[in-house]
Amino acid sequence: MSAGESPTIVIPFVSPRAGDPVITSELVADHGLSDDEYERICRIMGRTPTFTELGVFSAMWSEHCGYKNSKRLLQLLPTQAPWVIQGPGENAGVIDVGDGYALAFKIESHNHPSAVEPYQGAATGVGGILRDIFTMGARPIAVLDSLRFGDLDSARVRYLFGGVVSGVGDYGNCVGIPNIGGEVAFDRGYEGNPIVNAMCLGLMKKEDLITASASGVGNTLMVVGARTGRDGIHGATFASEELSEESEEASRPRVQVGDPFTEKLLLEASLELISSGAITGIQDMGAAGITSSASEMAGRAGNGVQIDVARVPVREPDMTPYEILLSESQERMLVVATKGHEHEVHRILEKWELEAEEIGEVTADGRFRVLENDAVIADMPALPLTEGCPTYEREGIEAEEVRQLREMDLTEHLIPNGDLTKAFLLLLASPNVASKRWIYHQYDTTVRTSTAVRPGGASGVVRIRGTKRAIAATTDCNGRFVYLNPRRGAMIAVSEAARNLVCTGAVPTAITNNLNFGNPLKQHIYYQFREAVLGMADACKAFETPVTGGNVSFYNETDGRAIYPTPVIGMVGIIEDLSNITPQSFQSKGDDIVLLGENTAEMGGAEYLYVTAGLVAGEPPRVDLARERQLQRAVLTMIQNNELRSAHDCSEGGLACALAECALGDEEAPFGVKVELDDTLPPVATLFAESQGRIVVSCAPDRTENVIKLAMDHSVPARRIGKVGRRGEAFHVTAIAGQIKIDLVTLSRAYFGALPAIMNTPASSVE
């Protein structure tokens, strides 16, 4: 018997509430349900649902909550490893990080709200992910943000970008969680539909782990935190639709408003509640509000719940049960208090000047029952809400347009159009390559006094106080690669994330993913999704980094045009000894620069093509997972043996840009660079191709031999390519038949000045 088909023996009759609209096929369609799905609901109910019941089903069976079009493929991802304590299905994944500590971490999207109201959309995205972490019993220790926007020459895009950055910043800053990294990319492929993914890491003692289940029949359900208002009603369904030009005005009421101050109080109160032992479960009221939190908690425990909406503290009068059940007002929690310990919950919440109210209880009958005072408003089996959502596997076919772009001949672009140094400066000043300081200088990165590596490097690092250990985290995905070749692009995203962690000295350990795609009902989008999941599964297996949770965001389309498929990889790694933390920039003049891996002429999807020709085309660079793994093992060994002074991954902008970043560091004390590359490739490829599997390291000259030997031992190609110069010396990179030569002041201005110059242009016209 599948969960969706459970026979209902007694069919409780629920009379419609006065004022409820009549259920018509139009109303059903407005709720995002197909005719088949509606029939299925009637079968499950044994009768026609009431308006309120329809709303509940619609939210729970939305793409956002029900994973209709993704669930079957997601099952292909590896989720197990000895260090995984909690895999997918909870508020967040949890892994063992040693010394008695566990790490909870998760990434989540807030793309649609941010497209409509960038500041609040982004802020509430951060708020939601923090709650997912502290409801596991973990104290949030770091935030990362992964962002995508259209090109910054549009005033509208600058408005979205500026608003999102201050929304992410203000929320995290106020709650007091350091931002330790993330990424941002700008490409016309995201115009109109930005991507805002926020990731949070939380630390706890292993024994403090708590889950979100409604266990213990007779225990009391309590809503704690902010009051319930009319904001964000049907946000989950909204997140499961495409955007159109009308969306902005029409959808604004569906965007929630954040209050980070209340969040901070809720965080402290929740952690105190968990350690008090007065509660058995706790869950954030995220998408679909009380409905999803109550039914998911019931579902996990195999119990039922009964809620009286009249007891839910509301912000405004005359809210209907439908509204109360589906409101997505922020900073609220559903708590299951052990019977008889409700006063303890009240006491703790009062201390933090927050409200708590008993709204119902855990029942044994497996029903999701809603009362309004004495009247039953909804009565439905709980399990089908969370488990009975129909799932689909669709046909996927690659778009002809993409195939043509991928097969485009790029030979003509290998001939530089003018001076190489000029092209290089253009590339370095592209917002995709240039310093992101303008962003992270708006984020508190040092609060909680544990940030060992701040944003701006390959990955952020927070130490675990009282131990020698640290946690590294990164988010990565090059959407252009995924667009051109979804399977390979997803493999590259995982490989790059792992490479970034390794460069700071961390062992890649586990993944949370945020799969941002267009409308899965379209065959070419489903193709992208399927291929990306398959590529990701292969790469996760190769790196032994299981996926412990994440988020799927479909329908990222504006006026029918989808974003680049963007499966963002949030990866965490463990640094076993703080002394292994390795900087990405050069540290000492006279050091040798060694290139690990090989340069190739693979220009597909390179930033160089976008900057010089406005092109997103070609076959993305090959990725050999076994060799990539060997490269990473080699670098970790070098770091553990204390051979390296710095390590930097080669990604957007290629080897030349990686070298520039190594030279510039944090701007205060840049180093000169003298590098000679003897590859028999066109210089454009040697310098700017984004071939995979390359890391630039620097070491004291007496270590070079060891470094090269260790690389060889791992079958990794390695060669000394040059030297770190003095401060004030030039940045000089020669390839066969071409060179880049430039003074450090100009280099620094291009790299650090680009984003401020763009963003400080007054945003006079907010379109």
Partner 1 sequence: MRVGVVTFPGSNCDYDLYKAAQQVGADVEFIWHRQKNLDGYDVVMLPGGFSYGDYLRAGAIARISPVMEDIVGFAENGGPVLGICNGFQILCEAGLLPGALIRNVSLRFESRDVHMLVEQTETPFTSEYQKGQILRIPIAHGEGNYEADGQLLEQLEAEGRIVFRYVNRGGEMTEEANPNGSRNSIAGLTNESGNVLGMMPHPERAMEEVLGSVDGMGVFLSLAANLSTVVL
Distance CA 243, CA 64 (A): 15
Spatial CB neighbours of 480, under 8 Å, sequence gap ≥ 6: 187, 189, 489, 564, 605, 610, 616, 620
Distance (Å, whole) CA 381 – CA 361:
16
Q: Which is nearer to partner 1, 139 or 234 (CB)?
A: 139
User: Residue 751 interacts with partner 1 (CB under 8 A)?
Assistant: no
Q: Which is it for the CA torsion 12, 18, 20, 24, positive or negative?
A: positive
At 419, list the tokens: 């001076």
| Minimum CB distance to partner 1, residue 451 (Å) | 7
Cβ 119 to partner 1, closest distance in Å?
13
Place of tokens 């209050």: 259
Cα distances from 547 to residues 536, 565, 582, 608, in angstroms, run 10, 19, 26, 32
C-beta of residue 452 within 8 angstroms of C-beta of residue 462: yes
676: Cα separation from own chain's centroid: 38
Count of residues in the chain = 767
Provide, rounded to whole angstroms, the least separation between the CB of residue 453 and partner 1: 9
Stretch of residues binding partner 1 (CB under 8 A), selected from 215-223, 451-459, 623-631, 682-690: 451-459
Give the one residue of 257, 447, 730, 763 binding partner 1; rule: CB under 8 A.
447
| 440 scored as a contact of partner 1 (CB under 8 A) | yes
Tokens representing residue 8 in the block: 């209902």
Of these, 27, 174, 758, 763, which contacts partner 1 (CB under 8 A)?
Answer: 174
Contact pattern for partner 1 over residues 538 through 577, marking x by CB under 8 A:
----------------------------------------
Structure letter (DSSP) for residue 83: T
Among 441, 709, 726, 727, binds partner 1 (CB under 8 A): 441
Beta strands in 12-138 (DSSP E): 84-86, 93-98, 101-109
Give the separation between CA 539 and CA 746, rounded to whole angstroms: 39
Residue range at the interface with partner 1 (CB under 8 A); choices 293-301, 450-458, 586-594, 737-745: 450-458
**Options 126-134, 228-236, 257-265, 526-534: segment touching partner 1 (CB under 8 A):** 257-265
Cβ nearer to partner 1, comparing 259 with 296: 259
Report helix, strand or coil for 123: helix
Task: State yes or no: residue 445 binds partner 1 (CB under 8 A).
Answer: yes
Minimum CB distance to partner 1 smaller for 168 or for 710: 168
**What's the count of helices (H) and strands (E) in the chain, helices before strands?**
27, 28
Q: How far is the CB of 443 from partner 1 (least distance, A)?
A: 6
CA 355, CA 345: separation in Å to the nearest integer?
A: 10
Which of the ranges 174-182, 297-305, 693-701, 745-753 carries the binding residues for partner 1, by CB under 8 A? 174-182
Task: Locate all alpha helices (DSSP H) within 11-50, ordered by sequence.
Answer: 25-30, 35-45
Measure the CA–CA gap between 587 and 670, rounded to whole angstroms. Answer: 9
261: contact with partner 1 by CB under 8 A: yes
Q: Please name the helix (run of DSSP H) or strand (run of DSSP E) that holds residue 663, with its range, or none.
A: helix 654-664
758: contact with partner 1 by CB under 8 A: no
**Among the listed residues 195, 265, 312, 471, the single contact to partner 1 using CB under 8 A:** 265
Q: Which of 146, 296, 120, 142 lies closest to 212, judged by CA? A: 296
Interface residue with partner 1 among 93, 202, 235, 260 (CB under 8 A) is: 260
> Between residue 661 and residue 680, which ones bind partner 1 under the rule CB under 8 A?
668
Of 31, 110, 413, 648, which is the active-site residue?
A: 110
346 is catalytic: no
- Told to judge if 64 belongs to the known catalytic residues of this protein, a careful annotator would answer yes
As a whole number of angstroms, the distance between CA 48 and CA 38 comes to: 9
Does residue 227 interact with partner 1 by CB under 8 A? no
Rounded CA-CA distance 606/516 in Å is 21
Based on the shown chain and the rule CB under 8 A, indicate whether residue 763 belongs to the binding site for partner 1.
no
Q: How many residues bind partner 1 (CB under 8 A)?
A: 34
Using the rule CB under 8 A, is 134 a contact of partner 1?
no
Question: Among residues 31, 64, 413, 714, which one is catalytic?
Answer: 64
**What binding mask, one character per residue, do residues 384-423 give for partner 1 by CB under 8 A, x or -?**
----------------------------------------
Closest separation in Å from C-beta 267 to partner 1: 10
Query: Burial letters for 698-710: b for 16+ Cβ neighbours within 10 Å, e otherwise?
Result: bbeeebbeebbeb
Which positions from 334 through 363 interact with partner 1, judged by CB under 8 A? 352-353
DSSP string, 510-527: EEEEEEE-S-TTSHHHHH
Q: Residues 75, 404, 446, 715: which binds partner 1 (CB under 8 A)?
A: 446
Residues lying near partner 1 in the complex (CB under 8 A): 166, 169-170, 173-176, 259-262, 264-265, 352-353, 440-452, 454, 463, 465, 578, 581, 668
Q: Catalogue the active-site residues.
A: 64, 110
